[in-house]
Amino acid sequence: MEGHIEGVTRWSIGPRSSEQVDDHKDALEFYEKLEKIILPMYLKERERWIDIMQHSIAFNASFFNARRMVQQYVLNAYLQ
């Protein structure tokens, strides 16, 4: 997954690479991670949860931003 390191910058949900999309399976995975990993961490390990949120911002904000998006759009739409 793009911009993702499991348990460091966020948590993934859903198929990996070429796996078939299954909304029911994805929903079950989402609720399981929320119940067993994310909410307990938020409630009992607040500093660790904050650390993951900060890593997510630091890791992704430098690349996933409006400037890069517009530059990529211009290159793909007008220059190719």
User: CA 28, 29, 33, 34: dihedral to nearest 10 degrees?
Assistant: -40
Residue 66: predicted pLDDT: 85
- How high is the pLDDT of residue 57? 83
pLDDT by residue for the chain (80 residues), tens only, comes to: 466 777 777 787 877 766 778 889 889 999 999 999 999 999 999 999 999 888 888 887 777 788 888 888 888 888 76
Domain spans of the chain, in order of start = 23-78
Q: Which position has the token pair 């911009």?
A: 3
- The pLDDT value recorded for residue 11 is 80
pLDDT at residue 43, as a whole number: 96
